[in-house]
Amino acid sequence: MTLKRIALLLALTLVLTGALGMLVQRTGAGGDRARVVAPAAPPAAESRPRTVREAIAPRTVIGDYLGRYGVTPTEVELLLGAVRPVYDLTMIRAGHFLDFQLTGDGRLDSFRYGIDADGFLQVDRTESGWMAVRKPHPYMFTDCCAAGVITDHLFGAVADLGEQPQLAVALAELFAWDVDFYADLREGDSFRILFQKRLLNGQPTGYGPILAAEFVNQGQAYRAFRYVHADGRTEYYTPAGESVRKELLKSPLKMGRLTSRFSHRRRHPTLKIYRPHFGIDIAAPVGTPVHAAGDGTVAFAGYRGQAGRMVEVRHAHRFTTQYLHLSRYAAGIRPGARVRQGQVIGYVGSSGESTGPHLDYRIKQNNAYVNPVRTQFQRAEPLPADRLPEFQRLVVAYGRVLGVEGELQQYYLARLWPTDEDPFWARQAAR
């Protein structure tokens, strides 16, 4: 019996094993049952073009950067030669940027170098070699308005508004013929500016021109409005159409501190005696540029005793300006040279009889010294009469933004200007 039972169990096991094998075979063939499928491998990531920005480090050359992207020294030489007629890439400057455009496989396709605030160099790889072109930055400009009050100095007041020193310099230059920003400024003076802010890729990168501005100095309001002539010239005029430019600037320095005024009896700081001081002293760091106060001819440029290194310029209407204690002269400044108003003619120093770096600035009229702060000078050519109506419309539009529209309208109405039958300003005032 035992053998029979064992044989029966073996037979049953074989039957069950065969049935299970047939079931598995049908399941695999039919595909209507769950099946185990190995996960597919993820697709390889596609390589995409990319841009890499490099800040140029001191004492590096263009080949140092091109070599990182597979450009051989021989190819660098060929590239430099091809690009040189447009720009010399051996002259790249530390602190500027190189933007490299790479293909998906990492090959250099093109690059650009930021030359200056005006533009950049674009270099592209072509079938025939490298091609370069100089392009302007794609700046955008937005109109902005700012107003402030002087508590200490102009630079501080502008900085309090979140603006850069360049805006303060531009404002000071605009009113430099009427306001001496070292001698005349008082606490409580105020200003309003309508200007353009320059943007690159949405980020502020500097300033465009001032469109209109008002500066109130010791209760006197000075206003200037930008006007572009048909020939492209840009000038600034007062609301009356008079040029803001005059034959001489109030000061030949853009920055500094007034330390001594014009006087017929001043105690000399080193000689300790009283004698006349026929100029104004403006303290400034050594090397600060000194600008010609007006158009003229250099009459003297050399060393003159206590005055040290000095430049003398003769102007129209028998005016002569003198610039004392210079550290050096600007290139081309020699007797007989013609200079333009605002041109750099020298640099602040402490040569001659001097207690420290400063400029002693003097003016002669008819060979007699006059006070640079109080002397009045003639204005440049006014706006042509036939352009006045257009200009006045512009003035009121700008005045609206500055918040002085009403004052300007009343000013024009009081002058009965223009005088045609239906004056523009009368219509504006009636609104």
The radius of gyration computed from the CA coordinates of the chain, to the nearest angstrom, equals 38
**Contact by Cβ (8 Å): 375, 319:** no
Q: In what order do the strands lie in the sheet with 50-55?
A: 50-55, 97-102, 108-114, 119-126, 129-136
**Pairwise CA distance, residues 247 & 292, whole Å:** 11
Q: What is the residue extent of each domain of the chain?
A: 50-136, 140-237, 257-370, 385-430
**Pairwise CA distance, residues 272 & 266, whole Å:** 10
Amino acid at 126: T
Q: Of the candidates 148, 141, 91, which has an alpha carbon nearest to the alpha carbon of residue 114? A: 91
**Which backbone phi and psi does 151 adopt, to 5 degrees?**
-110, -30
The predicted pLDDT at position 7 comes to 52
What is the Cβ-side half-sphere exposure of residue 61, based on CA atoms within 13 angstroms? 8
The predicted pLDDT at position 228 comes to 94
**Pairwise CA distance, residues 308 & 411, whole Å:** 50
Domain at 50-136: CATH code: 3.10.450.350
The predicted pLDDT at position 26 comes to 44
Q: In what order do the strands lie in the sheet with 140-149?
A: 140-149, 190-200, 203-217, 220-228, 234-237
N-term to C-term CA, the chain: 127
The predicted pLDDT at position 258 comes to 82
Mean pLDDT by 10 residues, the chain (431 residues): 53 49 44 42 62 93 92 91 94 94 87 92 92 93 94 92 94 91 87 94 90 95 95 93 92 84 65 74 94 96 95 94 97 96 96 92 94 87 92 91 80 58 42 39
**Contact by Cβ (8 Å): 165, 99:** no
User: b or e along 286-315 (b: 16 or more beta carbons within 10 Å of the residue's beta carbon)?
Assistant: eebbbbbbbbbebeebeeeeebbbbbbbeb
Q: Which two tokens stand for residue 67?
A: 């070599």
Place of tokens 């600007």: 330
pTM of the complete model beyond 0.75: no
The predicted pLDDT at position 79 comes to 92
Q: Of the candidates 321, 374, 380, which has an alpha carbon nearest to the alpha carbon of residue 346? A: 321
Domain at 140-237: CATH code: 3.10.450.350
Q: How far is CA 158 from the centre of its chain?
A: 15
Do the domains 140-237 and 50-136 match in fold? Answer: yes
The answer as to CATH 1.10.3430.10 being correct for domain 257-370 is no
